[in-house]
Structure 1
Amino acid sequence: MLSALPPSDPLIGNPFSSFDAGFTWWDYPDLFSAFKPTKTINSSFGSDEPTQNHKPESDDSNRVPFVVDERKRRRMISNRESARRSRMRKQKHLENLRNQVNRFRIQNRELNNHLQLLQHHCNRVGTENDWLRSERAFLRQKLSSISQILVFQQLQPFPSSAWPCNSAVITE
C-alpha cells in the first residue's frame, strides 16, 4: 500500500531528508578508497609488483597508506586465523591429555584392585603355610614320641600278661 503513495506525500515524509542535497564519491574519497584497485598484479609472474604499464596517479601518496593498511589487515586476519588454529590444537591436545589421564586412572584403579586381591591371596597362603608348619612340628613331635616308645619297648621285653590291655585281647 505504501508504494501507491507518491514520495511527496506529507504523511510519509522523506526518511532521508538529510541527503536531499546529494553527494558523490569525489566528495568523500576516503570513504570509497577501499573499493578502488590499488595496483595491478602481473599474472604471468605471480608477483605483487605493479606491471610495467602502470601509470602513477597524482594521489599516489594516498595509496601507500592504504597498501600498508591492507597488508596490516591481511596480516591481522592471518594472525587471528593462526591463533584460532593454535587454540584449537591446544584444546585438542588438552582433551587428549584429559582422556589419557582418565584412562590411566581407570588402569591404576584396576591394577590396585588386582594388587589387593593378590595381597589377600598371598596373606591367605602365608597363613595356611604357617598353620601347615605348626601342624608339621606337632606331627614330628608326636612321631618322635611314638618312636621313643617303640625303642623303649624293644629294649625291655615284658611278658604279655604284664600289660593289662594285652591280657584283655588274649582272653577274648
Structure 2
Amino acid sequence: MLSALSPNHPFLSNPFSTVFHSGFTPWDCHDLLLSKPTSPKPVTSSTGSDDPDQTHAKEKPDSDDSNRGMAIVGERKRRRMISNRESARRSRMRKQRHVENLQKKLNLFRVENRELNTRLQFLLNHCNCVQTENDWLWSERTLLCQKLSSISQFMVFQQLQPFSSSWPCNNLTVE
C-alpha cells in the first residue's frame, strides 16, 4: 500500500520540517541511542562567524587530541608489554641459570658421593682385615699363654725335683 503512494504525497512529507530546522527529528533518536556516547565538546570562543567549515576545523583538533591520547595510551601499553616481555625473558634466564647451577652441584655431589663410597668400602675392607688379624692375634696370645703356663709348671717341677730326692721320707721303704 505504501508503494502506491507517490513521494510527494502529504502523508510522506515531514509535518515538522518547519519546526526542526537542523533536520533532526525525534524519529532519528534511535540512531543516537545505538551509537557510542561521545564526551562533551569543550566550549570555545567564537569569532562570530557561523562558518560551518570553522566548526569542523575546531572539531578535528579534538579528534586529533583523542587520537593523540589514544596513541599515547597505546604507546604506553606497547612499552609496558615490551617491558613485561623483557622482564619475563630475564626471569627465564635467571631460572635457567639457577637450574644449570643446581645441575652442576648435583653432578659434583654425585662425584663426591662416589668417592666417599669408594673410601668407605676401602675402610670397611681394611677394618675387616684388621679385625681378622686381631682375632688371629688373640688366639695366638691364648696359645702362647697356655705354652707359657706349661713351661712355668715344668720349670717349677724341675726346680722342686732336686729337693724331693733329698727328703728322708722319700728314702724310706715301705715294709
- TM-score in same-fold range (> 0.5): yes
| Counterpart residue number, 2:82 | 77
**2:61 is paired with a residue of what secondary structure?**
coil
Q: Please name the residue that 1:130 is paired with.
A: 135
Looking at CA atoms only, which structure, 1 or 2, has the larger radius of gyration? 2
Partner of 1:113: 118
CA drift at 1:63: 1.5
After TM superposition, give the deviation of residue 120 of structure 1 in Å.
Answer: 0.6
Listed as ranges, the gaps of 5+ residues in structure 2 are 1-59, 166-175
Aligned length: 104
Output the CA distance in 2 between the equivalents of 1:61 and 1:92.
Answer: 46
Amino acid at match of 1:135: E
Amino acid at match of 2:134: N
RMSD between aligned residues: 1.7
Residue 57 of structure 1: CA displacement?
A: 3.2
The CA deviation string for residues 49-76 of structure 1, in whole angstroms up to 9 with x for no partner, is xxxxxxx933211221111111001000
Q: TM-score, normalised by structure 2?
A: 0.56
Identity %: 69
Q: What is the deviation of 1:84?
A: 0.4
2:152 is aligned to: 147
Unpaired segments ≥5 residues, structure 1? 1-55, 160-172
